[in-house]
Amino acid sequence: QLDSVCGSRGPSFEHRERLPYIEAIVKETIRWRPVAPIGVFHSATEEVKFQGFVIPKGTLFLDNIWSASWAQSRDPALFPNPDTFEPARFLDAAGNLCPQTPDSNLLGFGRGRRVCPGRDFANAGLFIAAASMLWSFDFEWPVDVNGKQIVCDTFEMEDHTILSTVRPFEIKVTPRHASLEEKLFEMLKERDTSTSA
Ligand code: HEM
């Protein structure tokens, strides 16, 4: 899809609507491994009574996004084989984004009035990063001296205060186009000219 839509010029936001598989990769990534497990701190601006509890003014709250999102994003009724990374679950038989699949935006970006206001910007950034990397390179697991693949355990997560990522891992990266470096510089130059014009 990337090669037929973007050809030798590389992906840009103009291609976004015609790259539903890349959009599906982004949605599946947000579902599969939410990166902000506890959201950000909120505080009660006044005393709140909730389900028999009195929450004093000034109480700090953290939304347990990991637990809520994880439980929801692992629900096999919503997402069959939930532990498998499967972007196609967000596509219909014709390969278009499928509105029936629950939106993973609801899983990784919080909820309610304090839902992440940067989610469209984040999704756009993830789209262009995924499209550009996959257009530019092939990615494979490296092999050890016996030719056995060294596969990263994607359940081994690391905490970084409010963020959670997989541990550092190695990957073999091979350019998919001749003279890739020159092509990438040309693309950047073209975009600089079109944005400054
Ligand atoms: C993949 C990228 C991102 C993820 C997964 C993410 C996720 C989240 C989550 C889970 C929250 C907490 C919601 C809550 O506590 O209820 C949040 C809050 C927030 N995010 Fe993001 N975010 C991302 C990118 C961004 C970007 C790019 C921006 C800004 C350009 C941004 C700005 C904010 C702000 C300002 C809040 C606080 C909102 C509030 O408390 O009212 N985020 N984000």
Containing domain of residue 101, as a range?
Answer: 2-196
State in Å: Cα 71 to ligand 1 middle. 20
The reply to whether ligand 1 has any atom less than 6 angstroms from the CB of 106 is: no
| Beta-carbon contacts of residue 87 (< 8 Å; ≥ 6 apart) | 21, 24, 25, 27, 28
Domains in the chain, number? 1
Q: What is the CATH number of the domain that holds 106?
A: 1.10.630.10
Distance CA 139, CA 186 (A): 23
Among residues 110, 93, 118, 139, which one has the least CA distance to residue 40? 110
Confidence of residue 101 (pLDDT cuts 50, 70, 90): confident
The reply to whether ligand 1 has any atom less than 6 angstroms from the CB of 128 is: no
Return the structure tokens found at 195. 């944005």
State in Å: Cα 106 to ligand 1 middle. 12
ipTM of the shown complex:
0.97
Confidence of residue 178 (pLDDT cuts 50, 70, 90): confident
Host H or E run for residue 49 = strand 48-50
Tell the residue nearest (CA) to atom 6 of ligand 1: 109
42-94 tens-digit pLDDT: 899 999 999 999 999 999 988 777 666 677 788 888 889 999 999 999 999 99
Distance CA 36, CA 149 (A): 30
The pLDDT of residue 184 is above 90: no
The reply to whether ligand 1 has any atom less than 6 angstroms from the CB of 38 is: no
The reply to whether ligand 1 has any atom less than 6 angstroms from the CB of 58 is: no
pLDDT for the residue 196: 65
Residues of the chain above pLDDT 70, percent: 94
Tell the residue nearest (CA) to atom 26 of ligand 1: 118
Task: Give mean pLDDT, residues 146-158.
Answer: 90
Distance CA 15, CA 60 (A): 43
